[in-house]
Chains A and B, each alone.
Chain A
């Protein structure tokens, strides 16, 4: 079995690290680079940058933030928000990103997934799905950081994304996002049941047991964490220890 990845998620607005609840009421947390560095030294397996408003306003400061982060962070970085073209992807990869996460532009024009996969490889493209529950076992895809209905069923879209060449799925529960009430296990299970590519569970992480649950009960390949880390409720080291304790395979990490 492969290592379960512990990913620090940094949502960005302009030049700031922000955090909201259900993607709303966004509050400034601080300087993203400082937090990125902190999580790198805590042993994050990857970093995930999402520009929360990029798809709304078009241009983004993300490339510069990524470039600055690459100065002293030496783990893989996935970057998303406002990516519309293969050229946008190229620019972010040149800035030090290893993968890109695409949501809105892929919903509007699914071929973008194939174009990116063909040019840079499937390992480079993460399909970002923002899901909101509509009824029992039914989740709808949202775009523009939880603001717009995408008109697609989540598991259908996940399956389609794989066909188009996505290498990974970032699955964010809008209902759980920022609540610290635990990951949406049934949503995650619904997607891990229909795709073979890795699924990153995101939204709702409140304590280390939530990580254990989403891996054991919903088969997540990776977890993204934001609130708990930003507000120092837990360190990545504590989460890693709890996962290890629960017999979940995680990367061996010790400080040199």
Chain B
């Protein structure tokens, strides 16, 4: 669908230029906005974010945007959370003490393991290109944000915390870091989140953004 209207929620955190350009490149009309009305009228909404979980939630709450997000999800607008934006979809995060999230996908946000699956030290944050794989129990990506992506396709990650959905069915793509499986894409109904940055993941990332627009 060309000219899909996308609202990128601006709550005063991070660089939104690349997200905007990525979506525009896929044919969307993008507004980077903190206006509730504009966000609620959009065909699709993106919740971006970098930085600390508590700061992000605080940014949303002070402007009442947390309620706006709940409202748009309730009326069925597709929502995509990116990086911290994905983590904020969860119930709560363990980053710097416990902080409450948006609670749109049951589960919590926990630190990326500092040990490999074999018990050796592992560098955190997890930064760089990493390959997408099927999580346990998943064998295909049809009919999801990952449609058209192949296991082994690489995307760009920068994070120290990760989402852990209670329901394994909400976890549709993982990556493997130090032998540990980390959630890369999570979804529940019209809510989706990517731990990686599609806007920095080359043509694969654009394909994922495109799929979000055309869903």
Residues of A within 8 A of B (CB): 2-3, 5, 40, 43, 45, 67, 70-72, 74-76, 93-98, 121-123, 167, 196-197, 251-253, 255-256
Contact = CB atoms under 8 A, between A and B. Distances in A.
A40 B18 contact: no
Interface in B16-69: 17-18, 21-22, 25, 51
15 contacts: A3-B128, A5-B128, A43-B202, A67-B17, A74-B18, A74-B21, A74-B22, A75-B202, A98-B158, A122-B125, A123-B125, A196-B123, A251-B154, A252-B131, A253-B154
A252 B155 CA distance: 10
A93 B15 contact: yes
Given A252-B131, A253-B154, A74 B201 contact: yes
**Interface size class of chain B, counting residues whose CB lies under 8 Å from the partner chain:** 20 to 34
Contacts of A256: 203-204, 207
Q: Which 8 residue pairs of A and B lie closest in terms of their CB atoms, listed nearest first?
A: A251-B129, A256-B203, A251-B154, A96-B17, A76-B200, A123-B127, A123-B125, A93-B15
Contacts of A255: 203
B52 to A, nearest CB: 9
A39 to B, nearest CB: 11
B181 interface: no
A40 B202 contact: yes
A94 B18 CA distance: 9
A40 B22 CA distance: 14
Contacts of A67: 17
Contacts of B153: 252
